[in-house]
Amino acid sequence: MKKNKNILIVGASGGIGTELLYQSIENKNTNVYALVRKIGSLDKLQKKHQNLHPIYLDLEDKNYKKKLENSLINVKQIELCIFNAGYLHLNTFLNLNSKEIEKSFQINAFAPLYTAQVLLPKMLKKGGHIVQISTMGAIQGSVKFSGLTAYSGSKSVMCNLTELFAEEHKDTLVRMNCLCLGAVQTEMLKKAFPDFQAIVKPKEMAQFILHFAFESHKFINGKIIPVSLSTP
């Protein structure tokens, strides 16, 4: 019999996150640990899907790392993590205040790092894959947009973290890769670019991310990968 895989999705709500959640719980060979911040929001879904295990936690919580550790205390092995959560604050450089900058870095940079620290011991024995979801704006030389300093700046930490993590763990079976997404039609995109209509839908992007997360670790490690239709 095929062994069940344990997956953690951080940010399993909203545009791409909801799709990641729905598509992964349909796979009966997975146990899905879904981190969302709205307490009780997954209770109804959990009744229909016994392989769904909600974790109600805010990435801004001061004790985020400890609380995540406690939530996963009985889960000895995790094969896959998709860090999908993200926070976009739109403001011009000089007008950014410390609250907005700190929130951006807490959610987009510190939380992915602490999450990986919690997961690593659960992946070392049998292997695992951590997929960071970043943005095209975090890639050096990509087209930049005004007002996205706090967002793209904090998301770029995910890219560097991926390369450094992969170097440090290259002799283990743990892999980390970073997908830098282009435009996907979600609320976040509407907030940043109200008049822009993206070709890619959240459902399609979630399909791609899940396929990548399940398959690519056999061939790819420590890579920052643009997932975008734009040129260059």
Ligand X SMILES: NC(=O)c1ccc[n+]([C@@H]2O[C@H](COP(=O)([O-])OP(=O)(O)OC[C@H]3O[C@@H](n4cnc5c(N)ncnc54)[C@H](OP(=O)(O)O)[C@@H]3O)[C@@H](O)[C@H]2O)c1
Residues forming the site for ligand X (CB under 6 A): 11, 13-17, 36-38, 58-60, 84-87, 107, 133, 135, 181, 183-184, 186-189
Q: 38 or 76: whose CB is closer to ligand X?
A: 38
Distances (CA, A) of 224 to 26, 86, 161, 166, 211: 28, 17, 10, 11, 17
Q: 107 or 123: whose CB is closer to ligand X?
A: 107
Q: C-beta of 181: minimal distance to ligand X in Å?
A: 4
Strand, helix or coil at 67? Answer: helix
Q: 78 or 82: whose CB is closer to ligand X?
A: 82
77/223 Cα distance (integer angstroms): 24
Q: 77 or 142: whose CB is closer to ligand X?
A: 142
Residue type, 195: D
Q: C-beta of 139: minimal distance to ligand X in Å?
A: 11
Find all residues with CB under 8 Å of 97, minimum gap 6, and list them: none
149/101 Cα distance (integer angstroms): 9
Q: C-beta of 10: minimal distance to ligand X in Å?
A: 7
Q: C-beta of 123: minimal distance to ligand X in Å?
A: 21
Q: C-beta of 9: minimal distance to ligand X in Å?
A: 9
Q: 14 or 128: whose CB is closer to ligand X?
A: 14
Contact 134, 178 (CB under 8 A): yes
